[in-house]
Chains A and B, each alone.
Chain A
Amino acid sequence: MNYLDLTIKEIHEALLEGKTNPVELTKEALKRAKENEDNAFEMIIEEDALKKAEELSKLPVPKDNYLFGIPYIAKDNFSTKGYETTASSNILNGYVPLFDATVIKLLNEAGAILIAKSTLDELAMGGTGTSGHKGITYNPWDKSHTRLVGGSSCGSAAAVSDAIVPFALGSDTGDSVRKPASYAGLVGFKPTWGLVSRFGLFPFAPSLDHVAYFTRSVFDSALATELLSKHDDNDSTSSYKERPNYLDLNSSVEGKKIAVINGIYKTIQDKKVIEDFDKNIEFLKKNGAKVDFIDVDTDLLKAIYPSYIVISCAEATSNDANLDGIKFGPNYGGKTYSEVMFNARTKGFSALIKRRFVIGSYALMRENQEEVFLRAQRARHLIVNTFNKIFETYDAVYCPAAPNIAPLINKSSENINEDFMIADNWLAIGNFGGYPSITLPIGLENDMPFGANLMCKPFDEVNLFNIALKIEEGTGLKNLNYPAYAKKEGK
């Protein structure tokens, strides 16, 4: 029995029963991390992880603390005191944060054990997992290394999917946890904007940025939310709303009204995705949910991607202005302070990131502000108004998370072109409106997983988890992970 193949809840039960202990779990997680060939890590934290595991193994396992003794991984854009944190960008090589991000602090205090920092698309500004300074991160489900796992939280997705850990932190500005979750067969959850502190998460586009996480079951996402959703004075956007008990769940959809958006559903070309999604809809209906296919103005859906690109790139230009090679990061010298910055940024950013910054800079030029930047923000307003209206009638919006299984690496492009369709970008609605949003696996095609996504109105996490638990029951894909699947299928 290998306990890392289980969910957090199951591992916790095994810890309580004394069947395993933090040292055993950590040793196995480290072993798996070192053996991993998907290029998932920036750094493996061996010595300190083992030391902490040994300390924890001497303590009694607290009954109500699910994360105690659980090995976990954090995306390398979370500040971790004493550990180099680069966000997979050469401009931050050598940067060692002086403090822990709030979520890292909460996890560490709960007794979770950080065993590695994971790779990402450079500065979290990408959706493929191919643009980090350590190269391409591969999808664990495709051992021929021809398919991407998606990004930007690529390393965290690969690690949870390969059962190295049952939990990993990521960040989600457009779909950076929820899309790779679909490609890797995971549960990827983004809470309401403001629910989980972003203090210590490197900002990309703060009006869209969220802390988000990967697990292999809906309940595990709920228990992580129970730990992480605390108000934080260090984050000026942290909500003061009283948090409910996120573990008080009933997995009932009786009487729930669920909307499927025609304009998204109909853009999915993959028949197997639609087939399994439809099956799941039937299951929900049988269990008492009312599911309606509803129309939304297609022009609004078409505007999701361009609005996202404009807003995120524009916000990124100012958020990354502090990357100057002066306070931290490689410094290549110069005759003036601006030349020092110019050299550091020219040498430190990759070509892809520079192109994104240029788009942001172009959008913010005085001549373009009204027609590009402000118009994108207005489109965002209309999109959010439309979905807020839907949430007045419906408990949730539910659609396939991505148009297909993980794309082939050589067929994917970060270049902006017309191939980016509605089905590939609709998850950004969750960031526009700050909605809680969860992706979970609904099927497999040629041994590759794919998922669907559920969104609710802000702060409606309990409702979201209840519906998601029922979806999970219908798919039977709880705790999907590659090692267990390969074993079962004799691969």
Chain B
Amino acid sequence: MKEVNKEVLKDAANRLLFDMKDEEYDTLLNEFGAIQHQLNLIGNIKGVDEVSPMTFPFDVTITYLREDEPETPLSQKDVLKNAHDVKDGQIKLPKVVG
């Protein structure tokens, strides 16, 4: 397990594209003591590493193809309603290539 320090927490936050205040990292760092303790409880389970990870509550096998029926999608006008910057029928963002 990666050692936890402020830099690691900042990296974890920045990977998700946000930042926190310095004192918030301190708060979280303090909390991580309790979190580490909790995580160790998982490791205490006998045979925990001998089963597969569970990603859904139970097996669901859904195999189907939708009927080829036409649907009316949302209109361009509607889709753009919630966007902050719109230009020429598209969402406007800062230039990617200079």
Given contacts A378-B48, A384-B54, contact A362 B94 (CB under 8 A): no
B43-58 near A? 1/0 per residue, CB < 8 Å: 1111111011111111
- Interface check A458, CB cutoff 8 A: yes
- Interface check A165, CB cutoff 8 A: no
- Interface check A486, CB cutoff 8 A: no
Query: Within the complex, which residue of B19, B52, B57 is in contact with A433, where a contact is CB–CB below 8 Å?
Result: B57
In the assembled complex, the CB of A349 is this many whole angstroms from the nearest CB of chain B, namely 6
- Interface check A326, CB cutoff 8 A: yes
Contact check, B53 vs A381: say whether CB atoms are below 8 A apart: yes
Contact check, A351 vs B24: say whether CB atoms are below 8 A apart: yes
- A89–B48 CA distance with the chains assembled, in angstroms: 36
Contact check, B57 vs A368: say whether CB atoms are below 8 A apart: no
- List of B residues within 8 angstroms of A368 by Cβ: 1-2
- Interface check A118, CB cutoff 8 A: no
- Interface check B87, CB cutoff 8 A: no
- A317–B12 CA distance with the chains assembled, in angstroms: 11
Contact check, A375 vs B48: say whether CB atoms are below 8 A apart: yes
Contact check, A306 vs B41: say whether CB atoms are below 8 A apart: yes
Query: Within the complex, which residue of A330, A358, A378 is in contact with B12, where a contact is CB–CB below 8 Å?
Result: A358
Contact check, B52 vs A303: say whether CB atoms are below 8 A apart: no
Q: State how many residues of chain B have any CB contact under 8 Å with chain A.
A: 55
Among A98, A335, A431: residue with most chain B CB under 10 A: A98
**Which B residues, 66 to 88, have Cβ-Cβ distances below 8 Å to chain A?**
66, 74, 78-79, 81-85
Contact check, B37 vs A326: say whether CB atoms are below 8 A apart: no
- Interface check A183, CB cutoff 8 A: no
Among B17, B21, B56: residue with most chain A CB under 10 A: B17
- List of B residues within 8 angstroms of A367 by Cβ: 1-2
- A341–B58 CA distance with the chains assembled, in angstroms: 36
Contact check, B16 vs A98: say whether CB atoms are below 8 A apart: no
- Interface check A248, CB cutoff 8 A: no
Q: Which of A286-294, A396-404, A410-418 contacts B (4 or more CB under 8 A)?
A: A410-418
Residue in B closest to A351 when the chains form the complex, CB atoms: B24
- List of A residues within 8 angstroms of B42 by Cβ: 303, 306-307, 310, 375-376, 379
- A355–B38 CA distance with the chains assembled, in angstroms: 16
Contact check, A326 vs B84: say whether CB atoms are below 8 A apart: yes
Contact check, B16 vs A351: say whether CB atoms are below 8 A apart: no
- A329–B12 CA distance with the chains assembled, in angstroms: 23
**Which A residues, 338 to 392, have Cβ-Cβ distances below 8 Å to chain B?**
338-342, 345-346, 349, 351, 354-355, 357-359, 361-362, 365, 367-368, 371-372, 374-382, 384-385
Residue in B closest to A359 when the chains form the complex, CB atoms: B35
Given contacts A330-B84, A339-B94, contact A354 B18 (CB under 8 A): yes
- A324–B52 CA distance with the chains assembled, in angstroms: 34
Residue in B closest to A349 when the chains form the complex, CB atoms: B18
Contact check, B35 vs A416: say whether CB atoms are below 8 A apart: yes
Residue in A closest to B93 when the chains form the complex, CB atoms: A337
Query: Within the complex, which residue of B8, B34, B93 is in contact with A418, where a contact is CB–CB below 8 Å?
Result: B34
- A367–B1 CA distance with the chains assembled, in angstroms: 6
Q: Could you show 14 A-B contacts with beta carbons less than 8 Å apart?
A: A193-B58, A207-B55, A303-B42, A346-B18, A362-B4, A377-B54, A382-B51, A415-B27, A418-B37, A420-B38, A432-B54, A432-B57, A433-B57, A434-B57
- 7 new A-B contacts at CB < 8 Å, known A337-B93, A354-B24, A358-B16: A194-B60, A327-B83, A331-B84, A346-B19, A361-B13, A377-B54, A379-B42
A positions within 8 Å CB-CB of B: 94-96, 98-99, 193-194, 207, 233, 236-237, 239-240, 297, 299-300, 302-303, 305-307, 309-310, 317, 321, 324-331, 334-342, 345-346, 349, 351, 354-355, 357-359, 361-362, 365, 367-368, 371-372, 374-382, 384-385, 415-418, 420, 431-435, 458
